[in-house]
Structure 1
Amino acid sequence: MLIRLSLRCRCAKRPRAGGYALLTSPRRSDARSDGVVKEKIMIADVARLAGADGSPFSSATIAGGWVFPAGQVGERADGSVPESFEEEVALALTNLRGVLEAAGSDLAHVVRIQVILTDMADFYVMNRIYRDHIGQNLPTRFTHGAALAPGYRVELVATAVVA
């Protein structure tokens, strides 16, 4: 389900081409001699891809030509998590691909990806499976260790452009 929201703010000037006006906070230097403070704002359209399972967050947000998927884990449609780490990583990447495609993008249009591992000893296994799925279009990547929700060993957080 796609929910479209429009965020509009009042502005004395018309927005520039592309739907944006300049955005700054009012400062003393922006005050005119008549005491009026010129405030610059941004106008943006935001679309949210609702979570299919009734989650309290969107599966993805689309704004300004960018796609911001929610973090993706290696969870099957029935809610179960694979026993093998390799299958969990592959499933997380498959889930990420599905959300990106639903939002009008794909793995080839990912510009940045964050990989969170509960055990950094799994880095090389994850890296091998990651490369098989991502292919030649290698986005910027940041991998680190952190605690995740119980039962999960990997989570992917990506930013992509709309294809």
Structure 2
Amino acid sequence: MTNTSLAAGPLPTALVRCLQPMAYTADGRPAQAGILLQHGHASTSARLAPRPLRGPLKLCFSNSTRALAATAAERGGWRYCEGYAYDLTQDLLFEHAWLLDPDGTAWETTWTDTTNVVYLGMAFDMDELLELLEESDEPLLFGDWDRGWPLLRSHYECCRRLSPPE
């Protein structure tokens, strides 16, 4: 069953419709989209991170990792978030990474315009992120296909990690 009323309110129907065909693997196991629909953290808007914390286009995973490292030193409670960003205006879905502040607000570290963008992802604090990056330097959710997506291997373990921030 899909949970369409997450932390920031109901997900737009267009996003749910876009993700549902990708929600399960051919053998019926939950895939990234399905797990995010059930357990992800949703943000219906984002603030632009200050210029020193933003990085080049197409490097969102490293931009967000770097920005979290810089932010964590001076502000506690920030989290790295990885999942999908959906542009409602253009009806486009992107694999993406951003930051979440302690209040659950999304902070964009790559794009310069977040108008009509909805974010759905899983959040990791600095310690979790560093632990996972020790195992692989690939993006956590999407890029680790050669190791069998270790975060998705066990549905129970994944659900534990996918709990939205309190």
- Bigger fraction of residues in helix: 2
Q: Which has the higher contact order (CA 8 A, sep 6+)?
A: 2
Under a length normalisation based on structure 2, what TM-score does the superposition of the two structures give?
0.25
Instruction: Name the larger-Rg structure.
Output: 1
TM-score by length of 1: 0.26
